[in-house]
Amino acid sequence: MCPTERQVFIEHLEHYAKESDYPGLDVFICTADPYKEPPIDVVNTALSVMAYDYPTEKLSVYVSDDGGSQLTLFAFMEAARFASHWLPYCKKNKIVERCPKAYFASNPSWFPETDQIKSMYERMRDGVENVVKRGSSSHDYIPDQREIEALSRWTDEFTPQNHPPVIQVLLERGKDKDITGHDMPNLVYISREKRMDSAHHFKAGALNVLLRVSATMTKAPVILTLDSDMYSNDPQTPLRVLCYLLDPSMDPKLGYVQFPQIFHGINKSDIYGGELRHVFQVQMSGMDGLAGPQHVGSGGFFRRKIFFGGPSETPEMNQDQLTSKSIRSREVLAMAHHVAGCNFENQTKWGTKMGFRYGSLVEDLYTSHQLQCEGWKSINCKPKRPAFLGNSPLNLHVLLNQTTRWSVGLLEIAFCKYSPIIYGVRSINLLSGLGFAYYAFWPVWSIPLTIYAFLSQLALLNSASIFPKVCISSMVL
Ligand SMILES: O=c1ccn([C@@H]2O[C@H](COP(=O)(O)OP(=O)(O)O[C@H]3O[C@H](CO)[C@@H](O)[C@H](O)[C@H]3O)[C@@H](O)[C@H]2O)c(=O)[nH]1
Ligand SMILES: [Mn+2]
């Protein structure tokens, strides 16, 4: 039991891995509602990771749109065009802040092309915001026939809860080039199939579709999960992760590297405690001193294989590599649509032994507990410059909604057969298990807290004493 803080030296990475040996990286970004999570913010998150200091031929970004919204797809079509200017701009000028919204808001140093890039960004932003305000994209503004066809899949029968899968490759590396002629990373939009009569399992279901679709296209050994509002704040983050994953002396059971969620825009007094400092700054370092921190939904770099069995098992994955084929080829797209179907998981181990686990709204804690019970370890990575920055609830209504969702999800974990107090007590060390149990039973705190909030006032009104008198003998204890 020893709270752990770690440090890596990225400049030493080159001593034990050449750039050509870096593993592929698939980034998963989830969004679920174009009105609650504005598409321009999701686009900013995607652009910030597309501009990572990582070999472009190894980088792919997959966006899951559970809102099944034409508006989000339209925003990404615009983003793909803007990316061809933004990525070379960042790399040429060694920009650190690669989320365009944050960059232009930060009063950046001015380069000769900054004015032009800024006005391009503003044009894209205004275009996307106007389309969201109007509620639909007008085909007159779209120059590309392929894009018009993609957007015309939104027919009258198409609703967010009932629609076929939509998968659109917006950028393909090796084919699409930026304005300087360099490759751009893959960018793929996915809206999985939804039917009223089949369970979609919320975010866990979306992530499992991303796991499968990416396996038909790129199958990178390393995966990063991000919420739509968590943009990258440091382009060197994947290299930092490689310092752990490629370290020859590292425990081979290391399954994932977790970054804390850090929020921006919280007011100084943080009246709702939205910073969650006890979780992200204190408890995760403590868990790191045991078997490792839990996954916190966003900012987790996973080895793909951990979703297919324990460290000693041979992963039950289809080994046929499709990576040599174009991701726009008919075969690859047919397979991708097939695995994004809502009946694909029937009678399979998805959600029980494979992928993100179903059964709790807090799928991150639930899945990472089970992964640790299977023997996987994790690491908490907390660099000085936050790797990601996200939004936290800024009003009481959103906060109460989030707390209710978390409480329901945590109690689902506390009282199921995978409850940390009964499941894995032998395979995971006792203190780690207690750590997970502490989270799972966290909503129970509401009972003593509510009593404490009312009892003293009621006692005062009724002139009753609730505390022992100083003179009684038990007070000595
Ligand atoms: O059916 C769904 C529901 C949610 N999401 C996405 O999941 C993410 C998190 O959902 P949000 O509504 O923002 O929940 P929060 O309570 O803010 O999220 C915290 O808690 C979740 C549950 O533990 C974690 O998954 C998140 O990473 C963590 O930031 C967002 O990007 C959503 O777009 C989906 O993709 N499909
Ligand atoms: Mn959120």
Backbone φ and ψ for 288, nearest 5 degrees, come out as -65, -30
For the residues 25-54, what does the mean pLDDT come to?
97
Q: Count of residues for the chain?
A: 477
The pick from 201, 203, 213, 302 for probing ligand 1's pocket by mutation, whose C-beta has the most ligand atoms within 8 angstroms, reads 203
Highest average pLDDT, of 2-16, 212-226, 425-439, comes from 212-226
36 is in an annotated binding site: yes
pLDDT at position 269 over 90: no
37 Cα nearest atom in ligand 1: 33
Residue pointed to by tokens 């749109």:
65
Q: Which two tokens stand for residue 59?
A: 């980088």
Residue 147: CB within 6 Å of ligand 1?
Answer: no
Active-site residue identified among 66, 183, 234, 288: 66
227 Cα nearest atom in ligand 1: 31
Cα–Cα dist 203/438, whole Å: 23
CATH code for residues 10-452: 3.90.550.10
Helix (H, G, I), strand (E, B) or coil at 405: helix
Is residue 416 within 8 Å of residue 360, measured between CB atoms? yes
Is residue 433 within 8 Å of residue 420, measured between CB atoms? yes
pLDDT at position 43 over 60: yes
Q: List, in sequence order, every beta strand (DSSP E) within 37-144.
A: 59-65
User: Containing H/E element for 96?
Assistant: none
Ligand nearest to the CA of 32: 1
178 is catalytic: no
- Higher-scoring residue by pLDDT: 233, 271: 233
CA 366 to ligand 2 centroid distance, Å: 17
Active-site residue identified among 26, 178, 183, 364: 364
pLDDT tens sequence across 2-34: 889 999 999 999 998 999 999 999 999 999 999
Residue 362: CB within 6 Å of ligand 1?
Answer: yes
pLDDT at position 316 over 60: no
pLDDT tens sequence across 127-149: 999 999 998 877 667 778 888 89
CA 410 to ligand 2 centroid distance, Å: 16
Residue 227: CB within 6 Å of ligand 1?
Answer: yes
Residue 288: CB within 6 Å of ligand 1?
Answer: no
CA 229 to ligand 1 centroid distance, Å: 10
Is residue 189 within 8 Å of residue 183, measured between CB atoms? no
Helix (H, G, I), strand (E, B) or coil at 347: coil
- Positive/negative CA dihedral, 43, 47, 49, 55: positive
pLDDT tens sequence across 295-314: 999 999 999 999 999 898 76
Q: How far apart are the first and last CA of the chain?
A: 30
Q: Is 96 exposed, middle or buried (0-12, 13-18, 19+ CB in 10 A)?
A: middle
Cα–Cα dist 385/257, whole Å: 16
Average pLDDT of every residue of the chain: 93
Residue 119: partners with Cβ closer than 8 Å, 6 or more residues away: none
Residue 364: CB within 6 Å of ligand 1?
Answer: yes
Residue 32: CB within 6 Å of ligand 1?
Answer: yes
CA 227 to ligand 1 centroid distance, Å: 7
* Strand 377-380, strand 254-258: pairing: parallel
Q: What is the ipTM of this complex?
A: 0.98
Residue 367: CB within 6 Å of ligand 1?
Answer: no
Q: Which two tokens stand for residue 230?
A: 């968590």
361 Cα nearest atom in ligand 1: 22
Cα–Cα dist 235/90, whole Å: 10
Ligand nearest to the CA of 203: 1
Residue pointed to by tokens 């397979």:
335
Residue 354: CB within 6 Å of ligand 1?
Answer: no
Cα Dmax for the chain: 87
247 is catalytic: no
247 is in an annotated binding site: no
Helix (H, G, I), strand (E, B) or coil at 81: helix
Backbone φ and ψ for 177, nearest 5 degrees, come out as -115, 155
Is residue 330 within 8 Å of residue 395, measured between CB atoms? no
Cα–Cα dist 390/320, whole Å: 37
Q: Which of 290, 258, 251 is nearest to 437 (CA)?
A: 290
What residues form DSSP beta bridges with 30?
A: 64, 227
Cα–Cα dist 236/233, whole Å: 9
